[in-house]
Amino acid sequence: MSGVRMDNMSWVEYEQRVRAGSVVFLPCGATEQHGPHLPLGTDALLASAISEDVAREVGGIVAPAISYGYKSQPRSGGGQHFCGTTSLDGATLSAMIRDAVREFHRHGVRRLVTVVGHFENQWFVTEGIELAMRDIGADSGMEVMRVEHWEFCRKETLDVIFPDGFPGIALEHAAVIETSMMLHYHPGLVSLDDIPAHGPAQFPAYDMYPARTAWVPSSGVLSSAKDSSREKGRLLVRDVVDGIATAVRHEFGLMDRQSIP
Residues carrying an active site annotation: 32, 34, 43, 118, 120, 173, 178
User: Element (H or E) spanning 147, and its range?
Assistant: strand 143-148
Cα separation, 250 vs 8, whole angstroms: 28
For residue 162, the Cα-to-chain-centroid distance in whole angstroms is 21
Cα separation, 206 vs 113, whole angstroms: 32
Q: Centre a 10 Å sphere on the Cβ of residue 131 and count the other Cβ atoms it contains.
A: 17
Cα separation, 100 vs 138, whole angstroms: 18
88 three-state secondary structure: strand
CA angle 55, 135, 257 (to 5 degrees): 20
For residue 244, the Cα-to-chain-centroid distance in whole angstroms is 12
